[in-house]
Amino acid sequence: MVATQTAVRNAYQAGLVVPAFNIPYLPMMEPVIRAIVDEDSFALVAVARLEWIKFEAQSQAAVMAEFRRHRRPGYVNIHQDHIPVIDEDNLQVDYLTELKQALALGYESVMIDGSRLPLAANIAATRQAVALAHAAGIPCEAELGAVWGHEAGPLPPYEELFASGRGFTDVEEARVFVAETGCDWLSVAIGNIHGAIAGVAKDQKKIEARLHLDHLARLREATGIPLVLHGGSGVRREDVLAAIQLGIAKINIGTEIRQAYEQRLRQTGSVAAAQEACYERTVWLIRDYFGLSGTRRTIIGQQQEAKPL
């Protein structure tokens, strides 16, 4: 079985990327994994806290149980996405308990999100999370900067955000943050935004985001670790491919596959039809958007092979 840390590190060194597909509805698990296997790629399935609070993922345990039903070793691992210290509604979260539960359930990597905190408090919370994860032998992702989109209320105009660099991860802060926390991967803000999770906006097509590639290059030089792009849905493809060459080794995808599932379910009332829409969109992302079909052995390493069913 390939370790997630190994896969992300191999992708980083090879100029490839590990997609992480978020699962806000449990029936999405099977088609996402099927698509990963059919395209001979390696990816993560992931669940963020907001996906069992605001959608229908139910719980960390329910997602893990569904993953174990469909798991294909050597093709897919499971990641605990966004456990925030302060959530999108500005409420305090018992983040250490949530992380400990994920570790006890067997999640193979975790993410602490202290990005809504001042730098010193983010460093302190992240250091705690890293210690827990490393004691369990798994990597810990963190976030620095403001990846907009999950907060209540309208998003500021995108062009204004991009032009001003508002919320972009500060290069010198990133250097200090990585050195003082020991995090394994860092989620950065370079123009990327999350998809909306509430109101009518959650069903609308995402803004086509751009990425500030020069800023990303400076972050890579400052940190020296694999970087992560959240809000990967809807980003201009040429920017994404360039970003992968500049240190983005993991990309989170949520809105693209969630909306495909939701829209087909509304149209047909059929979960099976919605699953097929999710499958088709996941295949398109792996094959046509990221160009990752057939890259599994490069990412997991030549000595790692999937076990037969």
The DSSP secondary structure of 10-51, one letter per residue, reads HHHHHT--EEEEE-SBGGGHHHHHHHHHHTT--EEEEE-HHH
The pair of structure tokens assigned to 100 is: 């400990």
CATH number, domain of 199, equals 3.20.20.70
Judge whether 309 lies within some domain.
no
Which of 52-61, 89-98, 223-232, 298-307 is least confident?
A: 298-307
pLDDT band at 19 (very low <50, low <70, confident <90, very high): very high
Q: What is the pLDDT of residue 11?
A: 97
Give the domain extent around 79.
4-300
Residue 305 within a domain: no
Asked if residue 80 is part of any domain, the answer here is yes
Does pLDDT of 198 surpass 70?
no
Predicted pLDDT at 197: 38
Average pLDDT over the chain, rounded to an integer: 89
CA 38-30-294 angle, 5° bins: 20
Tell me the pLDDT tens digit for each residue of 227-261: 999 987 778 899 999 999 999 999 999 989 999 99
In a domain, 185, yes or no: yes
- Whose tokens are 């009518």? That residue is 200
Contact 129/99 with Cβ under 8 angstroms? Answer: yes
Two tokens, residue 216: 């990303």
Closest-CA residue to 120 (of 94, 102, 144): 144
Whether 281 maps to a domain, the answer reads yes
Contact 82, 76 (CB under 8 A): no
**Between the ranges 139-148, 168-177, 226-235, where is the mean pLDDT highest?**
168-177
Please say whether the beta carbons of 76 and 39 come within 8 A.
Answer: no
pLDDT reading at 207 higher than 80 = no
pLDDT of 194 reads: 54
Residue 14 inside a domain? The answer is yes
User: For the chain, how many structural domains are there in total?
Assistant: 1
Give tens-digit pLDDT for 95-118.
Answer: 999 999 999 999 999 999 999 999
Question: Has residue 114 been placed in a domain?
Answer: yes
Residue 309 has pLDDT above 60, yes or no: no
The pLDDT of 184-188, averaged and rounded, is: 97
pLDDT for 51 beyond 80 = yes
Q: Is 72 a residue whose pLDDT tops 80? A: yes
CB 181 within 8 A of CB 127: yes
The string of DSSP letters for the chain reads ---HHHHHHHHHHHT--EEEEE-SBGGGHHHHHHHHHHTT--EEEEE-HHHHHTSB---HHHHHHHHHHH--TTTEEEEEEEEESB-TTS-B--HHHHHHHHHHHT-S-EEEE-TTS-HHHHHHHHHHHHHHHHHTT--EEEEES---SSSSSPPPPHHHHHHHTTTPPPHHHHHHHHHHH--SEEEE-SS--PPP-SSGGGGSPPP-----HHHHHHHHHHH-S-EEESS-TT--HHHHHHHHHTTEEEEEE-HHHHHHHHHHHHHH--HHHHHHHHHHHHHHIIIIIS--TT-HHHHH-TT--PPP-
Which of residues 225 and 202 earns the better pLDDT score? 225
Task: Read off φ and ψ for residue 185, nearest 5 degrees.
Answer: -135, 150
For residue 199, what pLDDT is reported?
Answer: 45
Is residue 153's pLDDT more than 70?
A: no
Q: What is the three-class DSSP state of 81?
A: strand
Residue 307 located in a structural domain: no
pTM for this entry: 0.89
